[in-house]
Amino acid sequence: MRKIVGGFFTVVGYIAIAAFGLWGLVIELAIIEHVAGFWGMVVGFMILPLMLTVTPLYALIAWGNWFPLLIVYGGGIFAFTMIGVGGLIKGDD
């Protein structure tokens, strides 16, 4: 029973990574396209790790918009917490 419950939490975590990651990517590309235009979005997509880190902070500081920060950082915290809880519940095999 522990493996089933632990596996459920782990699967929820991986689904959350995919969902929040894709949602955050779309939001961040839209923010960069709004600020820097199409070519800025292309360059931002090429330097993806920097874009994923800085864009939510830019939206918070420049526009006062918490939403991208909650999606990217909050979604990551939620997802990795679920994966960790699933691993703790499953325990050692």
Q: Is the pTM of this model over 0.75?
A: yes
Per-residue pLDDT tens digits for 20-32: 999 999 999 999 9
Element (H, E) at 8: helix 2-46
Domain boundaries, the chain: 2-90
Per-residue pLDDT tens digits for 53-92: 899 999 999 999 999 999 999 999 999 999 999 999 998 6
> Are the C-beta atoms of residues 74 and 59 closer than 8 Å to each other?
no
Longest CA–CA span in the chain (Å) reads: 52
What is the C-alpha to C-alpha distance for residues 10 and 88, in angstroms, rounded to an integer? 10
